[in-house]
C-alpha cells in the first residue's frame, strides 16, 4: 500500500508545480508580476528489513514515503522597465513598493504602477485597475488634477500640475520582501516573515513607464517539461502499483 501513497503524493506535488508554472506563464505580460517557485521535500523514510543482513550494520535500506510541498517562494527581483508615455503609469527604481487600499480597507503592497483615475464624491483619485486607492506616505488617498495630462510626477513621487501640489506617491520597503504573502492582482500583504513596512526614501518613481513581469518564459517552459515528465512517471508508478495489487488479490482469491 505504501507505494500507492508514494505515487499519489508525487502526482499531487507535480500538479501543484504545474499550477504554479501555469500561473507564471499566464502573467508573463502582467506589469509588476513576480514569479513563484515551488520547492519540495522528501516525506519520512522508513528502514526496510533485509532478512539476509538483518543483524548487519550494512542493512541500511530505506523506503521513502513520498514527497511533500516544502515551500512556495516568490522571486522579488526587479523586472525590466519599459516606456509607455502614459501619465498614470509609474515604475519604481529600487526595491520599494506602492501602498494601495483594497475594497475591504486592507492595505496591500504592489510593484505594479499601471494606475488609473476615478471620480468619487467629486474627488479625482489615483487608483489601481481593480479600483484600489493608491496611498501617500501617510496612508492617505491621493487626489489628482482634473486635467490628468498636465500632471507631472517627480522622482520622489510628488505630483504637481499648473504649479499646484497634489501630494506624493508613498513608497515603502520591507526587511524581508520575500516573506510577503501573495494577495492577488500583483499585490502582497504583510506577514511576520516580511516585517512591517517602513518608508522608503532610497527608491524613486519614473512616470510614463512600467515594470514588466520578471517571469523568464524560457525557464518556465523548461520547468513545465520537467514537471510533465515527473507527473507522467508518478502516474505510471500508480498504475503499476494498482496492477500489482490487482494481481495479488487475484492470486489470493
Cα–Cα distance list, 187 to 66, 126, 129, 140, 172 (Å)? 33, 16, 12, 18, 14
Q: Is residue 227 part of a domain?
A: no
CB atoms within 10 A of CB 213: 21
> Taking Cα atoms as reference points, which of 213, 220, 253, 169 lies closest to residue 30?
213
Number of domains comprising the chain: 2
Domain of residue 193 covers 80-212
Per-residue pLDDT tens listing for the chain (253 residues): 566 667 777 788 888 899 999 999 999 999 999 999 988 766 555 555 555 555 555 555 555 566 777 778 899 999 999 999 999 999 999 999 999 999 999 999 999 999 999 998 888 999 999 999 999 989 999 999 888 888 899 999 999 988 888 889 999 999 999 999 999 899 999 999 999 999 999 999 999 999 999 999 999 999 999 989 988 888 887 788 777 777 766 766 5
Whether 198 and 91 map to the same domain: the answer is yes
Q: Is residue 224 part of a domain?
A: no
Whether 115 and 179 map to the same domain: the answer is yes
Whether 135 and 32 map to the same domain: the answer is no
Output the nine-digit C-alpha cell for 161. 500640475
Q: Is residue 219 part of a domain?
A: no
Whether 127 and 6 map to the same domain: the answer is no
Amino acid at each position: 500500500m505504501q507505494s500507492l501513497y508514494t505515487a499519489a503524493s508525487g502526482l499531487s506535488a507535480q500538479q501543484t508545480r504545474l499550477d504554479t508554472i501555469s500561473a507564471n506563464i499566464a502573467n508573463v505580460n502582467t506589469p509588476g508580476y513576480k514569479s513563484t517557485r515551488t520547492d519540495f521535500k522528501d516525506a519520512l523514510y522508513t528502514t526496510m528489513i533485509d532478512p539476509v543482513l538483518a543483524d548487519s550494520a550494512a542493512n541500511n535500506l530505506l523506503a521513502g514515503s513520498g514527497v511533500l510541498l516544502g515551500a512556495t517562494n516568490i522571486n522579488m527581483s526587479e523586472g525590466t522597465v519599459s516606456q509607455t508615455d502614459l501619465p498614470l503609469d509609474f515604475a519604481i527604481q529600487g526595491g520599494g513598493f506602492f501602498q494601495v487600499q483594497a475594497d475591504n480597507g486592507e492595505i496591500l503592497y504592489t510593484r505594479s504602477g499601471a494606475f488609473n483615475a476615478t471620480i468619487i464624491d467629486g474627488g479625482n483619485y489615483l487608483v489601481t485597475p481593480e479600483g484600489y486607492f493608491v496611498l501617500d506616505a501617510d496612508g492617505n488617498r491621493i487626489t489628482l488634477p482634473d486635467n490628468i495630462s498636465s500632471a507631472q510626477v517627480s522622482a520622489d513621487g510628488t505630483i504637481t500640475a499648473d504649479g499646484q501640489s497634489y501630494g506624493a506617491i508613498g513608497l515603502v520597503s520591507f526587511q524581508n520582501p520575500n516573506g510577503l504573502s501573495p494577495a492577488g492582482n500583483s499585490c502582497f500583504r504583510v506577514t511576520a516573515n516580511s516585517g512591517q513596512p517602513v518608508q522608503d526614501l532610497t527608491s524613486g518613481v519614473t512616470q510614463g513607464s512600467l515594470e514588466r513581469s520578471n517571469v523568464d518564459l524560457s525557464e518556465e517552459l523548461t520547468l513545465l517539461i520537467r514537471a510533465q515528465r515527473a507527473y507522467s512517471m508518478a502516474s505510471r508508478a500508480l498504475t503499476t502499483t494498482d496492477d500489482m495489487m490487482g494481481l495479488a488479490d487475484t492470486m489470493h482469491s
